[in-house]
Structure formats: structure tokens, C-alpha cells
Amino acid sequence: MQSTRQAAPPPLAVVAMGGHAFLQSGEDHTIQIHQRNAADISAVLMTLVERGYNLVITHGNGPQVGQLMRQTDMTREEVPPMPLDVLVADTEGWLGYILQQALLNQLRRRNIQRYVVTMVTQVLVDKRDPAFSKPSKPVGRFLSQEEGEAARDELGWDIVEDAGRGWRRVVPSPAPKRVVQWRMIRESALAGHIVIAGGGGGIPIIKNAHDDYEGVEAVIDKDLTSSILAGSIGAELMIILTDVPQVYVNYKKPDQRSLNAVTMDMAEDLVAEGHFAAGSMGPKVIAIQNFLKAGGRRGLITNASTLEAALEGRGGTHFVGRL
């Protein structure tokens, strides 16, 4: 009798990369540096391709959107300034292009025939999200008090004093509800194409009074968007690549201890005990928890140089429903 058993479909993984994927701290914002870092991270991502994963890649855009905001400010007398949602779209486009090219070069060197596509990704947020009444996410460069107050009075920016380092513009950071393009992202990834999506956390949009989609001047946390996306496309693995090899309890304290494997229950307790800083590791752990709750099988937080070992269980911090 003929076997009717079919080969299991390749597993689907979402990889969320931090800002360091394109710029290490202190590096110049030149195109050459972006290209070099994109080449390095693409070489690392090949370990997932070689293991047969279908891939969706998300990434941050903090420094790049900050730079664009700066350009916009400097030329606003001559060139009509674009709103923040458009600037996010802009960074999705050019960072996607750089990463796409770097990935293609790695694939071509290995004679692997896979396409890479970048999706301009819109992410629905709730216009009643409380974040809109208290803008909290600093964006762009540091300003003097004078510059900050001028921008507030003339441009209507919300500004805050940032820990003695100067003034900064702050914008709302609402929770992502739905990635509008999720089906296209899923279908492309399941067809074997490498999809770059949700860059910078995605372009924040709301449903307006006419029930139409409309962009808003806000930014969405890329880790939270990545977990919503990973859940909706049915990924089995969500990897967060950041600049630390593992997650720690008592981080930067004398009794710091690395975490190898964390269950949902453990993660909940550790979050409640305040081990993960808001705005850095906090959203990553919460993002992975949300992903597991949405049906994901495994989460991994690590850095690029540890990824390969971590996939073999020798490094990184692994998250599972239960042990």
C-alpha cells in the first residue's frame, strides 16, 4: 500500500530584530554602516534558512526615523513636512530595501532560490487607547529647552525633559490590535518567500469617524507588533534578537542570574517582580508571553552571535508554555 503520509510543512518563525541590526550604538548613520550591519545580520539569519524555516522578519527604526524627523525639521520651509506615520512608512521602505538586498546576496551565495519581499505594513490601533492622552515615547534627537518650547508652541509637539539630558518630543505609543496585511504576510511566508514586515512596529492607523483607515502620529512598540503578527500568522517560533545573549533576573545587580528556560507561569511572576525594564526588556518578555497565549509554541530571546547555538539549545533564553 502506498504511504499517504506527507512531509510536515516547514515551520514558520518570526524574527524581531532591534535597532542594533542596522546600527550599533555610537556608529555613524551612513548607508555603508547600515549595509555592513545588514550583511552581518543576514548571514546570521541564514542559519534559520538552512534549518528549513519559513521566515518573517520585523525590525526597529528608532535612529532612522529620528534622522528623518530631523531632516524634515530642517527643510520644513521649503519642503512640506510629512507626518510621523509617513516617516515610519519611509523607513520601512528603505530599511526593507537594504535588508532585502543583503538577504538576497546571502541566498545567492548559497545558491538558495528564495525571494525576499518587504511589506509596507499598517497596524491598527484603537483611537480610544489611553496612550493617546499621555504621549510617552521619546522620538528624535535631544533638544535644548528653547528648541523644545519653540517646537511645542509652533508645531504643537508634546515635549518632556529626559533625565537631565535635554528635552525631547514624545508621541503616543498605543497597543497594536491587528496587522492589516497579516494574510498577505502569511501567504507569502508559507510560499517560502522571506517577508520583511512591521518595520518600526508598523505604521499606526486608526478607524476614523467614517470607519476609514487613517494614519496617526504615534509609534508602536516593534516587539508587541511582532507578537501580534506572529500570533495571527500561526508562527510556531518567535525569536527576539537584541543586544544581550540572554535575559537575566536581577539585571546588573551583584546577584544577576541568567535565565535558560522560562515557562509562562515563571514569566508572569518575574514580570510582576519587576525584573524587566519598561521600554527595553519588559515589552520583549510580554510580547513572547502574548505570543505563547495566542498559540505560539516557543519563544527565544538572544543576540545575533548566540542565535545558532541557541537554536541547538546551548544559549539564549527559551520560553515555553510549560516544561
Q: Which residues bind ligand ADP (CB under 6 A)?
A: 18-20, 60, 242-244, 247-248, 251, 275-277, 280-281
Give the residue with the Cβ less far from ligand ADP, 179 or 241: 241
Question: Is-contact 92 80, C-beta < 8 A?
Answer: no
Tell me whether residue 242 or residue 306 sits nearer to ligand ADP (CB atom). Answer: 242
Output the smallest distance, CB 21 to ligand ADP, in A. Answer: 8
**Residue nearest ligand ADP, Cβ-based:** 18
Find cell 555592513 and name the residue.
36
Our CA angle for 86, 89, 95, nearest 5°, is 140
Q: How far is the CB of 272 from ligand ADP (least distance, A)?
A: 14
Specify the residue, 144 or 256, whose C-beta has the smaller distance to ligand ADP.
256
- When the beta carbons of 131 and 151 are compared against ligand ADP, the nearer one is 131
Looking at beta carbons only, is 18 or 176 nearer to ligand ADP?
18
In whole angstroms, the minimum distance from the beta carbon of 23 to ligand ADP comes to 10
Question: CA quadruple 100, 105, 110, 114: dihedral positive or negative?
Answer: positive
Nearer to ligand ADP, 151 or 229 (CB): 229
Task: Decide whether 186 or 275 has the Cβ nearer to ligand ADP.
Answer: 275
Kindly write down the DSSP assignment for every residue of 133-163, as one continuous string.
GS--EEEEEEE-HHHHHHHHHHH--EEEE-T
Least separation in angstroms between residue 238's CB and ligand ADP is: 14
The nearest distance, CB 276 to ligand ADP, in angstroms, is 5
- Could you give the CA distance from residue 60 to residue 38 in angstroms, rounded to a whole number? 13
What is the β-pairing status of strands 247-249 and 257-259?
A: antiparallel
Write down the least CB distance from residue 281 to ligand ADP, Å. Answer: 3
Cα–Cα distance for residue pair 4/140, rounded to 1 Å = 57
Q: What is d(CA 83, CA 93) in angstroms, rounded to the nearest whole number?
A: 16
Alpha carbon distance 171, 133 (integer Å): 10
> Whole-number minimum distance, CB 60 to ligand ADP, in Å?
5
**Angle, helix 182-190 to helix 222-232, in steps of 10 degrees:** 70
- Is the distance from CB of 288 to CB of 282 less than 8 angstroms? no
